[in-house]
Amino acid sequence: MRSPEDRDAVHALRQDRLFRIYHAPDTPWFVPYDRAHPDDVAPRKPVYVLEGGGGHVLATARLDLRGSHAVVRLVAVAAEAEGRGLGRALMEGLEAEAASLDVRRLCLNAQGAAEGFYRRLGWAPSWWPSHSADPRSIPMTKWVARAEVGERKVRAA
Ligand SMILES: CC(C)(COP(=O)(O)OP(=O)(O)OC[C@H]1O[C@@H](n2cnc3c(N)ncnc32)[C@H](O)[C@@H]1OP(=O)(O)O)[C@@H](O)C(=O)NCCC(=O)NCCS
What does the pLDDT read at residue 154? 77
DSSP bridge pairs for 79: none
* Long-range contacts (CB closer than 8 Å, 24 or more residues apart) made by 15-23: 16/76, 16/78, 16/79, 17/76, 17/77, 17/78, 17/79, 18/74, 18/76, 22/111, 22/136
Distance 110 CA to ligand 1 centre (A): 11
Measuring CA to CA, which residue among 70, 80, 134 is closest to residue 106? 70
CB of 136 sitting under 6 A from ligand 1: no
Which structural domain range is residue 140 located in?
Answer: 4-156
What does the pLDDT read at residue 20? 97
What does the pLDDT read at residue 23? 96
What does the pLDDT read at residue 1? 59
What does the pLDDT read at residue 150? 59
In the chain, alpha helices (H): 4-14, 20-22, 38-41, 86-100, 115-120
Domains held by the chain: number: 1
120 and 75 in contact (C-beta within 8 Å)? no
What does the pLDDT read at residue 152? 62
Among 17, 82, 117, which is best to mutate for testing ligand 1, by the most ligand atoms less than 8 A from CB?
117
How far is 18 from 24, CA to CA, in rounded Å? 9
pTM value is 0.94
What does the pLDDT read at residue 88? 98
The domain that holds 46 is classified in CATH as: 3.40.630.30
Low-confidence ranges of the chain (pLDDT < 50): none
Phi-psi region of 100 (alpha: psi -120 to 50; beta: other; left: phi over 0): alpha
Distance 88 CA to ligand 1 centre (A): 7
Residue 137 CA, closest ligand 1 atom number: 48
